[in-house]
Amino acid sequence: MRIVTYDSARVSLLVPLEELTPLEGLETRAVLAAIQERYSFVNVPNLAVPREEQQAAGLRFEQGLFQSHGKLVDIFQFDVFTDGLVVSASTTDVANAFLMDVVEWLANTYQFRPIPKEARRLYLSQLVFDLNRPLEDVLALKPLLKEPYQTSAKRHFGAKAMPRLARVDYEFDDVNSSIRVPRLTIERRAGSSVAAERFFSSAPLKTSEHLALLSRIEGIED
């Protein structure tokens, strides 16, 4: 397996915003302007919309920069909601580091309060990888449908090549859960040829956990 790109990742910190903001209150416009300046966000929240709309849709920053491990990296989005903070970046490591940096900086500069210990984090990792063998061979799936499907499709479409597995999903039976667990998805990358064996994968995990999981399919090459 070869990792082609880290497509995107998201870290969500589930905490009521009122538990982080200073008890004495704050000047919202000054704080938002300081966030834009510190992280060089190109797009910033529109404070001209009514307060009710802001609370419903959240405050969104887009296309920022963050110093991570000695180099500048992109922060795709930073959303501030009444019930939490959400950061989108290339990996969950980058998103989480940005989240911790902004919370610590707000505490030191504007007297924001620390994150409660019970606050929960949710993750989403999305990446693209190449396999050295067809997915069904790697997963050792029995070709119960391949040949019958090829025979039927050949009658209607003249298809000569053997069909290949294009997608695998895993999901939890979480009907009674308060938070629905997103699926683990592996699917052929849109626009890529079947012969390329290039796949997109999405998982509700840290990027490092996602990589470790996918490495069980094939060892990851440098």
Q: For residue 3, is it within any domain?
A: no
Rounded Cα–Cα distance for residues 69 and 204 (Å): 24
Residues 83 and 161 placed together within one structural domain of the fold:
no
Rounded Cα–Cα distance for residues 187 and 198 (Å): 9
Q: For residue 221, is it within any domain?
A: no
pLDDT at residue number 91: 96
Rounded Cα–Cα distance for residues 76 and 185 (Å): 22
Q: What is the mean pLDDT of each run of 10 residues along the chain (222 residues)?
A: 94 93 88 95 85 78 93 96 95 96 94 91 95 82 73 78 85 75 92 90 95 85 60
> Which residues lie closer than 8 Å to 150 by C-beta, 6 or more apart?
159, 161, 162, 163
Q: What is the CATH number of the domain that holds 99?
A: 3.30.310
Residues 86 and 153 placed together within one structural domain of the fold:
no
pLDDT at residue number 198: 93
**DSSP readout, 123-159?**
EEEEEEEE-SS-HHHHTT---TTHHHHHHHHHHHH--
Residue 164's domain spans which residues? Answer: 125-214
Could you tell me which of 105, 69, 107 has the C-alpha nearest to residue 90?
A: 69
Residues 112 and 31 placed together within one structural domain of the fold:
yes
The helix (run of H) or strand (run of E) holding residue 184 is: strand 184-188
In this prediction the pTM is 0.85
The helix (run of H) or strand (run of E) holding residue 31 is: helix 28-39
